[in-house]
Amino acid sequence: MELRIAGVTEESVVDGPGIRLVIYAQGCLQSCPGCHNPETQDLEGGTLVTLKELAEKICRNPFLDGLTFSGGEPFLQAQAFARLAQEFKPRGLTLVTYTGYTFEYLYNESRRDLSIYRLLRATDLLIDGPYLQEKRDLNLLYRGSRNQRIINVSRTLSSGNLSVDEGTSAGLRY
Ligand code: SF4
């Protein structure tokens, strides 16, 4: 199975808690003015890589706390991203997923699309919503604009109530 990606950052400390390997999905259907990664929007751009190649990269770093799927839009390739997540979650890596969609939209879509359900279920923290230039705020943890939320997905799904983190690193718990 392959993923179309814009790139990989092998070690990041700004895309979620701890040390994370970040995979940037290639392709996004939203055209947010001021998009931080406009080169990732083209659905035909980027590079095709196999999950095996990505898995090898992940395995090379024993110090990783987790993976971050960013974009572009990871949920446009939910099946392959979910497969990668399902391989590494049992090995103790946590998952942060960025999306331009809202949690509510993805939750509704997940009822008819099993891949979206699997990627949502595998995600520990979902950073949701499009980047809105008029709500830009450089002081936010992990986010670019104030409409975006840090959602604890497992807590949300188990309680039935949206669990939104207030945005302080101390408050982030898996
Ligand atoms: S959702 Fe993200 S990647 Fe897509 S256009 Fe908006 S800011 Fe860019």
Closest Cα to atom 3, ligand 1: which residue? Answer: 72
140: left (phi over 0), alpha (psi -120 to 50) or beta: beta
Closest Cα to atom 1, ligand 1: which residue? Answer: 100
103 pocket-lining for ligand 1 (C-beta < 6 Å): no
Closest Cα to atom 6, ligand 1: which residue? Answer: 32
- Per-residue pLDDT reduced to its tens digit, 91-102: 999 999 999 999
28 pocket-lining for ligand 1 (C-beta < 6 Å): yes
79 pocket-lining for ligand 1 (C-beta < 6 Å): no
Question: pTM for the full model?
Answer: 0.94
Closest Cα to atom 7, ligand 1: which residue? Answer: 35
Residue 7 Cα to ligand 1 middle (Å): 15
In angstroms, rounded to a whole number, what is the distance separating the alpha carbons of residues 10 and 16?
13
Share of the chain above pLDDT 90, in %: 90
CATH of the domain at 70: 3.20.20.70
| Residues 92, 16, 45, 111, CA torsion sign | positive
127 pocket-lining for ligand 1 (C-beta < 6 Å): no
| Residues 133, 138, 139, 144, CA torsion sign | positive
**Structural domain range at position 24:** 2-171
Residue 118 Cα to ligand 1 middle (Å): 22
- Per-residue pLDDT reduced to its tens digit, 52-69: 999 999 999 999 999 999
Write down the pLDDT at residue 152. 95
- Per-residue pLDDT reduced to its tens digit, 95-152: 999 999 999 999 999 999 999 999 999 999 999 999 999 999 989 999 999 999 999 9
Three-class SS state of 43? coil
pLDDT > 50? residue 170:
no
Q: What is the dihedral of CA 52, 58, 60, 66, to 10 degrees?
A: -160
123 pocket-lining for ligand 1 (C-beta < 6 Å): no
Helix residue ranges per DSSP H, 14-152:
51-59, 78-88, 103-110, 114-122
Residue 62 Cα to ligand 1 middle (Å): 31
Domain count, the chain: 1
87: CB partners within 8 A, 6+ apart: 51, 55
